[in-house]
């Protein structure tokens, strides 16, 4: 007799299908190597962004997902406001949730979270980390690298900037 854990056989079967799709997709596997990005976030990123080559730079990706700031300008006054919220609401939700996990496990994202929290509060810091996570995912997909290689490239870039 199956264990009664609150899920139906149909739900368990659907979960298995989703896991199989994720296991079969190398892009999802690459993304899942990053702390915080799990099964649903990886699948949603790959499905929402589709062909990654259509984005010229990370700024275009953040605008597509709705993480770009809205500008409110008048005369010489320039103010960057809240995010535009254009794009996938589900993907933004998953990235903000994944960003909270990533901020605990990734030192650099944790520093971003703490720095923004001091200036703007927790809610804005969560969104900022989610945006950073989106940019990292874009770079990983574009360059076809995993999290370990992403970290090595980041260290190399930071050390070359310091010596220049």
The tens digit of pLDDT for each residue in 49-80 reads: 999 999 999 999 999 999 998 878 778 887 77
Torsion over CA: 109, 112, 117, 118 (sign): positive
pLDDT > 90 fraction of the chain, expressed in percent and rounded: 66
| Stated pTM of the model | 0.84
The distance in angstroms from the start CA to the end CA of the chain is 67
In whole angstroms, give the CA distance from residue 72 to residue 65. 20
Two tokens, residue 56: 């010229």
Between residues 78 and 134, which one has the greater pLDDT? 134
Two tokens, residue 32: 């899942």
Say which residue the tokens 């990123």 belong to. 45
């Amino acid at each position: 007799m199956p264990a009664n854990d609150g899920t139906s056989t149909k739900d368990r079967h659907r979960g298995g299908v989703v896991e199989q799709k994720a296991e079969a997709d190398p892009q999802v596997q690459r993304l899942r190597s990053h702390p915080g990005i799990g099964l649903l976030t990886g699948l949603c990123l790959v499905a929402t962004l589709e062909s990654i080559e259509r984005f010229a730079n990370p700024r275009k990706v953040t605008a597509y997902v709705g993480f770009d700031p809205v500008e409110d300008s008048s005369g010489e006054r320039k103010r960057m406001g809240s995010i535009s919220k254009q794009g996938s609401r589900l993907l933004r939700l998953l990235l903000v949730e994944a960003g909270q996990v990533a901020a605990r496990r990734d030192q650099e994202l944790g520093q971003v979270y703490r720095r923004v929290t001091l200036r703007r509060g927790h809610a804005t810091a969560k969104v900022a980390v989610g945006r950073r996570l989106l940019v990292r995912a874009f770079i990983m997909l574009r360059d076809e690298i995993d999290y370990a290689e992403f970290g090595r490239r980041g260290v190399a870039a930071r050390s070359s900037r310091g010596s220049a």
